[in-house]
Amino acid sequence: MIRILMLALALPISAAPRGAPLAATPEREGAVLLREFIYQAAPYPQSHASTIVQTPDGTLAAAWFGGTHERSPDVEIWFARRSAGGWETPKSVANGIQPDGTRLPTWNPVLFQDPAGPLHLYYKAGPSPQRWWGMVITSTDGGRSWGKAQRLPAGILGPIKNKPVILEDGAWLSPSSTEDEGSGRWKLHFERSEDAGKRWSATAPVDPDARFDAIQPSILFLPGGRLEAIARTREGVLAATQSADNGKSWGKLFAVDLPNPNSGTDAVTLKDGRQLIVYNHAAQRPETPGSGRRYPLNIAISRDGVYWRPALTLETEPLPDGYAYPAVIQSADGLVHITYTWNRQRIRHVVVDPARLTD
């Protein structure tokens, strides 16, 4: 803990000087095994916020939200499975139609496979991130059919963007966050279930007086039984916090050595113990604080979750809406699967061989 506090003081709040060029990493030879779109055409103009999972029979499945535009009441949650012939035709599996007939947008689906039970799809419904609530649907046949949508208990939002993890004691730990409407602050918290998602409890906000406004964490497993959560911030850099008690309490937020243009990321602990993150290697625009370009899209590798090394550039071409909101998993065969928003128009799926990513 002393080392973490020293790092928090030593690392700068920005990963690069304003306006300074950021190093690009060329694509490692042979690392990308597949690059494809999940669909070529859709009955909506915009899509965003994908999630990916592998079901027990080895099938890949993905979900995202699609509609006229983000925040539009017609935004629904779309889902597709990948069979031997490629991605199946996506279908809508959830929407924001309320009991009184009014309609609200849906947001940020997160797929999570219970190893001994159904496939879960968590998502949000509501007019805005400040006023949304958590929902969940489940499937007992790998996503071919879905049960009735259920609202999560009061005070439980579910995973905000990135996947829950299963701890050594079998508990589920869900990475969550809030965007307060009154104060405008962004804060991390975590939600824990010890009965396979039937009941949940939430931690207090992490480091509420931090110099970072942080949301959308990903959970990593560090040596010695520690956990780390790495999150998006408004401050131009990714921030992290660590836990030594299975996520029941968390330390101070500190900067890691990667930039963040106020855009979502995702990370995973690989089977070989390395940490992998997918993120936009770009700084915020100094003329418009709080925003930044969402390209290039990169992979970085770390041994300790604090010091990261560039490993692969996935996308570099400037697009109006860039490449955003990646999701990442490691499948049973050891390959890394990544999905992300492509120019707000489609969802791209990329397969990477992590053995070819050096750190």
pLDDT, tens only, 253-286: 999 999 999 999 999 999 999 999 999 999 876 5
Note whether residue 206 is domain-resident.
Answer: yes
Q: How far is CA 49 from CA 26, 152, 327, 346, in A?
A: 26, 20, 8, 11
Residue 112 included in any domain:
yes
Q: Average pLDDT for residues 305-312, to the nearest whole number?
A: 96
The total of structural domains in the chain comes to 1
For residue 10, the model assigns a pLDDT of: 32
The distance from CA 47 to its chain's CA centroid, rounded to whole angstroms, is 15
* Residue 293 domain-assigned (yes or no): yes
> Which CATH number belongs to the domain containing residue 257 in this structure?
2.120.10.10
Burial class of residue 166 in the structure, from the number of CB atoms within 10 Å of its CB (0-12 exposed, 13-18 middle, 19+ buried): middle
Report yes or no: 249 and 27 within 8 Å, Cβ to Cβ. no
Q: Indicate whether 359 belongs to any domain.
A: no
Q: With respect to residue 295, please indicate whether it lies within any of the assigned structural domains.
A: yes
The partner residues of 266 in beta bridges, in order of sequence, read 278
How does strand 46-54 pair with strand 60-67? Answer: antiparallel
172, part of any domain: yes
3-class SS of residue 294: coil
On whether residue 43 sits in a domain, the answer given is yes
Q: Is the CB of residue 80 less than 8 Å from the CB of residue 87?
A: yes
* DSSP classification of residue 7: H
Residue 290 has pLDDT above 60, yes or no: no
Domain of residue 218 covers 2-354
pTM of the model: 0.91
| Residue pLDDT, tens place only, 71-114 | 999 999 999 999 999 999 999 999 999 999 999 999 999 999 99
pLDDT in tens, 196-245: 999 999 999 999 999 999 999 999 999 999 999 999 999 999 999 999 99
Burial string for 31-56 (b: 16+ CB within 10 Å, else e) reads bbeeeeebbeebebebbbbbbbbbbe
Q: Could you tell me whether strands 76-83 and 150-151 are parallel, antiparallel, or unpaired per DSSP bridges?
A: unpaired
With 0-12 / 13-18 / 19 or more C-beta atoms within 10 angstroms meaning exposed / middle / buried, residue 67 is buried
Distances (CA, A) of 296 to 187, 231, 342: 26, 18, 12
**Which residues pair with residue 340 across a beta bridge?**
348
Q: Give per-residue pLDDT as tens, 130-142.
A: 999 999 999 999 9
The tokens of 35 are what?
């690059």
